[in-house]
A and B are shown apart, each in its own frame.
Chain A
Amino acid sequence: MATRLKEVDAVMVGMGWTGAILARELTKAGLSVVGLERGQDRTPGENFTLPSVRDELRYAARLELMQDNSTDTITFRNASAETALPIRRFGAFLPGEGVGGSGIHWGALHWRFLPSDFRLKSHLTERYGKTAIPEDMTIQDWPISYEELEPHYDHFDKLCGVSGKAGNLKGKIIAGGNPFEGPRSDEYPNKPIMTSAPSLMFSDAARSLGFHPFPSPVAIASAAYSNSEGLTLGGCEYCGFCNRIACEANAKASANTTIMPLLRPDSKFELRTRAFMTRLIYDRPGKKVTGVAYTDLRTGEDYEQPANIVVLSSYVFSNTQALLLAGIGEPYDRASGKGVVGKNYCYQFEAPAEAFFEDKEWNPFMGSAGTSACIDDFNGENFDHSGLGFFGGGYINCGTAAAPPISGRGVPHGTPRWGSDWKRATVKWYHHFTRFNTQGSVYANRENYMDLDPTYKDAFGRPLIRMTYNGTDNDHKMSRFLLTKVEAVIKAMNPTHYEMRPRPKNFTVVPYQSTHNTGGTMMGTDPKSSAVNRYLQAWDAHNLFIMGASVFPQQHGYNPTGTVGALAYWSAKAITEQYIKKPGPLVHA
């Protein structure tokens, strides 16, 4: 029998980026807030410290900061005719767990979507004709414009101390930045991280081809920075241990460094870790949720936490699973195309390349995501797709963010994989190679979706979420196009040797690719085509707000966290300025 706890104003389900942002904004508005987090607590002083963070085996190989798959996982199949099987340990993507969530171990590439991305379907129809969008491409416009979101992008930039160079300041194109970006109301909070030698070569080569290179924008402060909350972030140490690992310099932004120090001592906030939300308690006739049920993972005891507002601030998979289990919103049915919950699951279509330069001398262990350089010439609608046979695109970047010894070594294809010859090649090339990546969009397709698995259960006996996903012809064509552009730049860099790595036909959950999973509870203009409205408020439960990339209608050619953070501030503003004064639907269907 679950213990019923005292009602609070708001409960957060998940204390990563969005849970922390909403908890902070709601407590500032005077609400009492409980933050539930399935994982453990993590603080910079205890957990982000030298020397223990410089441990590639513990964090990058053994995945210390990632979700515990023994409690729950997802099942996967390439197509609906196949049987989905559980991902027994995560590989292709790595959702985090614990206070800070995936926002501790991220690489921190920090982007905004293009103004045209927000009205994608309309834009493509206007530019290429009414019949241009393939029938199976279930893309949608966002119910919000770039202009509406811009102040919140700016706010999130200043929370994180983002480093970069503006390319479009209030409509004025600025040399050295990204000329394709939407107008920014302000320059980046910090100047760019220093660019690495291969990334400078890439920039020169890209420029020689008429492209527009710029330093990668990252949520890593290039120097000590006082953020929008008055907290001090450190400057980047170029340590090369960003991905999958916490930042000991407190330069890479996380909720733990940018918000939690203020929430923890706040008497209006209570953090409960090892608290696993098992059920949204849904009052269907009342069209609201009355709270959440959760299990204390330390004791196994069950609790009910009543709340006036429930913020679902978990990851894409758990958000979607929670709605399906509670029966909130109509589940997506692939056969009929009806329903919304689980629809438009998207991913990031990344394809890399490597180049080797015998005559260069680099230190691949130094750097961060910010030492790379990019071009955005072939993203979204930054180029004409007429006659290309696909839509979408992505940014291209070059730079060895880090080449740690277990996972970051590079040798030309065909090199033996062991023995003395392998050793010689490894030593020969370690200081002489660089990597490229294409951050390709994934435009929603009716065959790619999430639902509840009929067979496999989690530790609480609940059905696992099932992912049905494969790369589409559109996205494969898009990716191959991006690779031709990368190859042209690489050739202009004149390497000793280079290799392009197109994606295999079938998506596989085994090698790491990207933790940019999106969709399932998408936002839109009406309940028929979306699970939440423009304020991230569930159509079928007015006091339930859903955060994160699960609200994306499709995934664009950029890392999602910048938009995830901006949407959280946008939603928080609607809750604090409108909803708490007059609870009820903020948009009438």
Chain B
Amino acid sequence: MADDTIPRRRFLLGAGIAGTAVATGLTSTSASEAQAPSGTQTPAASAQTTPAAPAEPEILLALTATEAAFVSAAVDAFIPADQLSPSGTDCGIVTFIDRQLASAWGGGAKMYRSGPFQKGKPEQGYQLPLTPKEYFSAGIAEANDWSRKTYGKEFDRLAPADRTAALKAMEEGKAEFSGLGSKSFFERLLTITMEGFFSDPIYGGNRNRASWTMLGFPGLPATYAGKFEEYRSKRYTAHAQSIADFS
């Protein structure tokens, strides 16, 4: 079957990083055209298609191989490769999520974790005993269980159209998870994906400042006192720079 050809361990093998630009037809020319409104092109557009790292295995800190495969499939559905950016995986979002879940935040730092743990109203917010790392681990297992029941295989082995349908079912809360709510899981997965896509590249996502270039967000140093008036009603463009560029 066609979908079986999707290499499950693609992320782990790191094949995506260098390969996808070719696979999706993304070239610096097409990226440049995608910036259309201003017609001004920044050096970042060509940088965007340059491999960031050699194709070597990614080291995972928190995610298991199965979890990484799930996350990779999900972030590529959320952020598909197109004329505006490389895919979520190629932007480093799996790396970002893995590192976030391995961080103090992922381990539940600064989080009130005393019981009793009671199910509250939605207005009362998150009430589970799980840290973000534990939550994603449990949620991915549930999503794969549901996917197996519904489609006969894990989420990352589904054909692209089925992945999209599965994510929509979760988004609408129609995917029946046994414990965690599928809608809550979806929301957290989407949120952390967007954080990875749009945060400073120092955290492993937004590789080559792909999202900032796409958006026209210049990043740092963000000192505009002398530019504010001139650019009040016209677009300011600059090569997007990261914290790393000033460190």
Q: Which of A69, A84, A430, A510 contacts B122 (CB 8 A)?
A: A510
Stretch of B44-52, B57-65, B224-232 with 4 or more beta carbons under 8 angstroms from chain A: B224-232
The proximity string for A residues 50-68 relative to B, scoring 1 for CB distances below 8 Å and 0 otherwise, is: 1110111100011100101
Within the complex, which residue of A51, A70, A239, A427 is in contact with B113, where a contact is CB–CB below 8 Å?
A70
> Is A457 a contact partner of B200 (Cβ separation < 8 A)?
no
Rounded to whole angstroms, the CA-CA distance of A424 and B34 in the bound complex is 9
- Determine whether the beta carbon of A54 is less than 8 Å from that of B220: yes
Whether A235 contacts B225 by the Cβ 8 Å rule is yes
Q: Roughly how many angstroms separate A56 CA and B217 CA in the complex, as a whole number?
A: 13
How far does the alpha carbon of A82 sit from the alpha carbon of B216 in the complex, in Å?
Answer: 47
Supposing A50-B221, A54-B221, A56-B199 touch, asked if A78 and B121 sit within 8 A by C-beta, the answer is yes
Which chain A residue has the least Cβ–Cβ distance from B211? A405
- Complex Cα distance A404/B215, Å? 10
Docked complex: B186-230 residues within 8 A CB-CB of A: 190, 193-195, 198-200, 202-203, 211-212, 214-225, 227-229
Known: A88-B125, A507-B123. A430 touches B216 (CB 8 A): yes
Complex contacts, B82 vs chain A, CB 8 Å: 420, 423
Contact assessment for B246 and A88 in the assembled complex, using a CB-CB cutoff below 8 Å:
no
Interface contact B195-A61, CB-CB below 8 Å: yes
Tell whether, in the assembled complex, residue A406 and residue B110 are in contact, meaning their CB atoms are under 8 Å apart: no
Of A115-123, A298-306, A345-353, A355-363, the one with at least 4 CB within 8 A of chain B: A355-363
Q: Contact check: which of B122, B124, B225, B233 meets A360 at CB < 8 Å?
A: B233
**Which chain B residue lies CB-closest to A196?**
B232
Cβ A56 vs Cβ B200 within 8 A: yes
**A69 and B215 in contact, given A91-B125, A241-B222, A417-B171 (Cβ under 8 angstroms):** no
**Contact pattern, A 217-240, Cβ under 8 Å of B = 1, otherwise 0:** 000000000000000000111111
A556 on interface, CB distance cutoff 8 Å: no
B164 within 8 A of A: yes
Q: Is B148 an interface residue (CB 8 A)?
A: no
B151, CB-defined interface residue at 8 Å: no
Interface size grouping (class) on chain A = 35 or more
A73 at the interface (CB under 8 A from B): yes
* Set of chain A residues within 8 Å of B247, measured between Cβ atoms: 51
Which of B77, B112, B123, B224 contacts A88, CB < 8 Å?
A: B112
CA distance A72 to B111 in the complex (A): 9
Q: How far is the CB of B160 from chain A (nearest CB, A)?
A: 11
Q: Which A residues are in CB contact (< 8 Å) with B199?
A: 56-57, 61, 405-406
In Å, the complex CA distance between A70 and B111 comes to: 5
* Bitwise interface map of A from 412 to 424 toward B, beta carbon under 8 Å scored 1, else 0: 0000011110011
Beyond A50-B246, A418-B78, A418-B190, is A88–B225 a contact (Cβ under 8 Å)? no
| Residues in A whose Cβ lies below 8 Å from that of B218 | 365
Per the bound structure, the CA–CA distance linking A239 and B224 in Å amounts to: 6
Q: How far is the CB of B102 from chain A (nearest CB, A)?
A: 14
Among A70, A194, A363, contact of B235 (Cβ-Cβ < 8 Å): A363
How far does the Cβ of B194 sit from chain A's closest Cβ, in whole Å? 7
B214 lies within 8 A of A365 (CB) = no
Given A70-B112, A360-B233, A82 and B125 touching (CB < 8 A)? no
* A62 lies within 8 A of B105 (CB): yes
Question: How many angstroms between the C-alpha atoms of A77 and B125 in the bound complex?
Answer: 11
Is A83 interfacial (CB-CB < 8 Å)? yes
In the complex, whether A133 has a CB less than 8 A from a CB of chain B is no
Does chain B have a CB within 8 A of A508?
yes
CB pair A87 B123 closer than 8 Å:
no
Q: Is A2 engaged at the interface, CB distance under 8 Å to the other chain?
A: no
A510 near B231 (CB under 8 angstroms)?
no
Decide if A366 is an interface residue (CB 8 Å cutoff).
yes
Query: Which residues in window 529-585 of A have CB below 8 A to B?
Result: none
Q: Is the CB of A405 within 8 A of B110?
A: no
Contacts of A240 in B (CB 8 A): 222, 224
What are 8 residue pairs bridging A and B, where the CB atoms are less than 8 Å apart in the complex? A51-B220, A84-B124, A88-B126, A89-B126, A237-B223, A238-B227, A423-B82, A506-B121
A51-B220, A69-B110, A423-B214 are known; give 20 further A-B pairs, CB within 8 A. Answer: A54-B243, A69-B112, A85-B127, A87-B124, A88-B126, A89-B126, A194-B232, A237-B225, A240-B222, A363-B236, A366-B224, A366-B227, A406-B195, A418-B167, A418-B190, A419-B77, A419-B164, A423-B79, A423-B82, A431-B216
Identify the B interface with A (CB < 8 A): 34, 37, 77-80, 82, 84-85, 105, 108-114, 116, 118, 120-127, 164, 167, 171, 190, 193-195, 198-200, 202-203, 211-212, 214-225, 227-229, 231-236, 243, 245-247
